[in-house]
Amino acid sequence: MLSLRLPGRASRAASSLARRAALRPAAGAAAQSVDSALLWVVAALLLTGLVMVHSASIALPDSPRFASYAPTHFLVRHLMAMAIGVAAALVAFAVPVREWQAWSKWLFLAGLVLLVIVLIPGVGKSVYGARRWLSLYVFNLQPSELMKLFVVLYAADYTVRKQDSMQSVRKGFVPMSAAVGLVGLLLLLEPDMGAFMVIAAIAMGLLFLGGVDGRLFAALVVITGTIFSLLIWLSPWRRARIFAYLDPFDEANTLGKGYQLSHSLIAFGRGELFGVGLGGSVEKLHYLPEAHTDFLLAVIGEELGLVGVMTIVALFFWLTRRAFEIGRQSIKLERTFAGLVAKGIGLWIGCQAFINMGVNTGLLPTKGLTLPLMSYGGSGILVNCVAIAVLLRVDHENRQLMRGAA
């Protein structure tokens, strides 16, 4: 396993000329201050999500639950979330990476406080039995979404600070595991197992990239897998979801725990290769629950077909791959924290997109996770935009250094 240990002064001096020579060919690419291709891909995902959220939610006012809403209610709120997200992203982009590192521990602590506050009866807002939101009147804030970004920053800073102790169980492994365990406990009390899975994947991935001992990492994988298995087995409704996922079209499951998945699969089946056309979905007409949030991809599959779904998959693959490329470039420039943050954002976006797509297509059991940058949800859009801004900032500083090295 390659270690990300920070080189000493002698090592940096010895490799300075070689590193400059290696960076010279890339100096031309550094002429741009931001990655325009990354911006275009993110814009494509955001705008496609906006169109599909409107399409998936336009019939919701026909339901008694949303009878007081206008047909454009969710479109307007999604536009507001995007506007706030873009404004927050501009502010986040202006913050140097070293400031994110300096504030990482405090942001993580603030996230823990918010996760505690949301559990207080009368303070946290409960929807469908889950207490996950704080009402800010203008919109509802979901602390678990903020925690995903805070865990990326905290885990990256932890890995850099504990670089010499990453092979130690007591000094390197236990503290980070305890921090993630505390976050997981608070999330399970909401409950929000989906967010816990994403956060655990981020933390484990950054520990692996940070050079944790291979045997410790294998033990961590086994322990995490065992914990999630026990959580599922000890929870009757989670266990019922697993059995329904294995056979969603069974008569006992189709109208029960497998209802959502069966209608999602019907939507993909109706879409075939090129889809039934934008706005032509039948499943969004109160057959497929949460079509504008967790199951937005199913509506995309029905209206835009396999071609539309594969385009979305390709865009997320490119975004995840680009985040790792930016991370590798940062590490070559001896900016380990920035590199781990970039890779952590790639892990987060890629992992959550993979889980959401797997749930929609029946490859994974049903979980309440949105499609990043696309699904309806103000907190998710806001935090995703800020995360992309931090990624662009890492790349921007890389380009500045490469320009100076040329």
Q: What is the mean pLDDT of the chain?
A: 87
| Within a domain: 7 | no
How many CA atoms within 13 Å lie on the side-chain side of 302?
A: 24
**Paired tokens of 388:** 């992309």
Quote the percentage of the chain above a pLDDT of 70: 91
User: Residue type for 378, please?
Assistant: G
Separation between Cα atoms, residue 390 and residue 89, nearest integer Å? 8
Q: How far is CA 127 from the centre of its chain?
A: 21
Query: In the chain, how many domains are there?
Result: 1
Question: Could you read off the pLDDT of 100-120 as tens digits, one per residue?
Answer: 999 999 999 999 999 999 999
Separation between Cα atoms, residue 386 and residue 84, nearest integer Å? 10
pTM of the predicted structure, to 2 decimals = 0.89
Lowest mean pLDDT among 17-26, 137-146, 252-261, 370-379: 17-26
| Within a domain: 191 | yes
Beta strand spans in 306-406 (E): none
CB 84 within 8 A of CB 71: no
Higher pLDDT, residue 48 or 173: 48
| Within a domain: 28 | no
Question: Could you read off the pLDDT of 147-166 as tens digits, one per residue?
Answer: 999 999 999 999 998 887 76
167, pLDDT greater than 90: no
370 DSSP 8-state letter: P
Higher pLDDT, residue 314 or 217: 314
* 101 phi and psi angles, rounded to 5 deg: -65, -40
User: Residue type for 121, please?
Assistant: P
Question: Could you read off the pLDDT of 232-277 as tens digits, one per residue?
Answer: 777 777 777 777 777 888 877 777 788 889 999 999 999 999 999 9
Higher pLDDT, residue 63 or 172: 63
Separation between Cα atoms, residue 135 and residue 332, nearest integer Å? 43
| Per-residue pLDDT at 19 | 52
Angle at 379 between CA 373 and CA 380, to 5 degrees: 25
| Per-residue pLDDT at 11 | 47
DSSP H or E segment with residue 228: helix 214-233
CB 346 within 8 A of CB 200: no
| Within a domain: 364 | yes
CB 391 within 8 A of CB 38: yes
User: Residues 376-398: what's their mean pLDDT?
Assistant: 96
| Within a domain: 29 | no
| Per-residue pLDDT at 7 | 46
| Within a domain: 33 | no
The set of long-range contacts for 42-47, using a CB threshold of 8 Å and a minimum separation of 24, is 42/319, 42/373, 42/388, 44/315, 45/312, 45/315, 45/316, 45/319, 45/372, 45/373, 45/374, 46/82, 46/373, 46/374, 46/381
Q: Give the domain extent around 267.
A: 48-405
| Per-residue pLDDT at 250 | 81
* Nearest Cα to Cα of residue 43 among 35, 31, 54: 35
Higher pLDDT, residue 202 or 172: 202
| Within a domain: 15 | no
User: Residues 387-402: what's their mean pLDDT?
Assistant: 96
**Paired tokens of 181:** 């365990």
Helices and strands (DSSP H and E) totals, the chain: 14, 3
| Within a domain: 6 | no
Lowest mean pLDDT among 49-53, 215-219, 254-258, 270-274: 215-219
302, pLDDT greater than 90: yes
Count CB-CB contacts under 10 A for residue 285. 13
* Nearest Cα to Cα of residue 146 among 134, 130, 158, 137: 134
Most confident of 167-176, 190-199, 349-358: 349-358
